[in-house]
Amino acid sequence: MAKKIAAKALQLGRTVPTPETPAKAQLDTVPNPHPDTNYLARFTAPEFTTLCKITGQPDFAHLVIDYAPAAWLVESKSLKLYLTSFRNHGAFHEGCTIDVAKKIMETVQPHWLRIGGYWYPRGGIPIDVFWQSGPPPHGLWLPNQGVPSYRGRG
Assign 11 a pLDDT band (cuts: 50, 70, 90): confident
Tell whether the model's pLDDT for residue 124 goes beyond 90.
Answer: no
Mean pLDDT of 21-30: 94
Domain locations in the chain as residue ranges = 23-132
Say what percent of the chain tops pLDDT 70: 92
> Does the domain at residues 23-132 carry the CATH identifier 3.90.1150.10?
no
Catalytic residues: 52, 59
Please state whether the predicted TM-score (pTM) of the whole model is above 0.85: yes
pLDDT at residue number 81: 96
List own/partner pairs for 83-87 with CB under 8 A and 24 or more apart.
Answer: 83/45, 83/48, 84/18, 84/19, 85/18, 85/19, 85/20, 85/21, 85/22, 85/24, 85/25, 86/22, 86/48, 86/49, 86/50, 87/18, 87/49, 87/50, 87/51
